[in-house]
A and B are shown apart, each in its own frame.
Chain A
Amino acid sequence: DVQMTQSPSNLAASPGESVSINCKASKSISKYLAWYQQKPGKANKLLIYSGSTLQSGTPSRFSGSGSGTDFTLTIRNLEPEDFGLYYCQQHNEYPYTFGAGTKLELK
């Protein structure tokens, strides 16, 4: 199985700042990485797929980059609603596997 290593596990920032979350695959997954946001009481939200393609409805302050084994989710100009948990997931091969998550907290 492809192991996904996500970092950092915790991140504190203020509204208006920019942050980056990293995800490293144990082997090449081409461009096939998705990012999700998880918030209490809400359904998990797909933000980005295929490494850099924004899902419909994802604000343009979110961006994804990378290919092969190293990927980054960047959120520019943080809004209050952006705080929560973020997960990466490789969708290159089964079984699909997730990173351990990054908790983005308000500083």
Chain B
Amino acid sequence: QVQLKESGPGLVQPSQTLSLTCTVSGFSLTSNSVHWVRQPPGKGLEWVGAIWSGGSTDYNSALKSRLSISRDTSKSQVFLKMNSLQTEDTAIYFCTRAYGGYYFDYWGQGVMVTVSS
């Protein structure tokens, strides 16, 4: 069945780089897009960015200068890298599959990332 699982450090120091991995199973990255969505504590959901089935990417314009999304199709993994982290980047980070590139039909459980010294 379709599954997504995020992994990465729970704590990152301010100004450092966040690296997250989303490992997927049950579907192919070359046929589906995978997106990152984040949720600050007690707040709503924010779309972060996406990597499409062909390998192209799209980013939230507010984060674009700090963000990179890539993938390794042989390992069924999608990677998120965000630099110059600030406390406002503290959030749960989810990876999710977008069916047809539209709505998010499967989600990972999320990984909590805290930016703090």
Evaluate contact between A94 and B58: CB separation under 8 angstroms: yes
The reply to whether the CB of B72 lies closer than 8 angstroms to some CB of chain A is no
Evaluate contact between A89 and B104: CB separation under 8 angstroms: yes
B73 to A: closest C-beta gap in Å: 23
What is the CA–CA distance of A87 and B94 in the complex, to the nearest angstrom? 15
Instruction: List 26 A-B residue pairs with CB atoms under 8 Å apart, sorted by A's residue number.
Output: A32-B102, A34-B102, A36-B104, A42-B109, A43-B107, A43-B108, A43-B109, A44-B94, A44-B96, A44-B107, A46-B103, A49-B103, A49-B105, A50-B103, A87-B45, A89-B103, A89-B104, A91-B102, A91-B103, A94-B58, A95-B47, A96-B47, A97-B47, A98-B47, A100-B43, A101-B45
Query: How many residues of chain A have a CB within 8 Å of chain B?
Result: 23
Nearest to B39 among chain A residues (CB) is A38
Evaluate contact between B106 and A89: CB separation under 8 angstroms: no
What is the CA–CA distance of A87 and B108 in the complex, to the nearest angstrom? 16
Query: How many residues of chain B have a CB within 8 Å of chain A?
Result: 20
Given contacts A87-B44, A96-B47, A99-B44, A46 and B104 within 8 Å (CB-CB): yes
By a CB distance below 8 angstroms, the chain A residues around B106 are 43, 46
**Residue-by-residue, is A79-92 near B (CB-CB < 8 Å gives 1, otherwise 0)?**
00000000101010
By a CB distance below 8 angstroms, the chain B residues around A97 are 47
Evaluate contact between A98 and B60: CB separation under 8 angstroms: no
Nearest to B49 among chain A residues (CB) is A95
| 20 extra interface residue pairs, beta carbon distance < 8 Å, beyond A91-B103, A97-B47 | A34-B102, A34-B103, A36-B104, A41-B109, A43-B109, A44-B94, A45-B107, A46-B104, A49-B102, A49-B105, A50-B103, A55-B105, A87-B44, A89-B103, A89-B104, A91-B102, A95-B47, A96-B35, A100-B44, A101-B45
Given contacts A43-B109, A44-B94, A44-B96, A34 and B44 within 8 Å (CB-CB): no
Highest count of chain A CB atoms <10 Å: which of B45, B46, B60, B102? B45
The reply to whether the CB of B117 lies closer than 8 angstroms to some CB of chain A is no
What is the CA–CA distance of A44 and B43 in the complex, to the nearest angstrom? 15
Residues of A1-59 contacting chain B, CB below 8 A: 32, 34, 36, 41-46, 49-50, 55
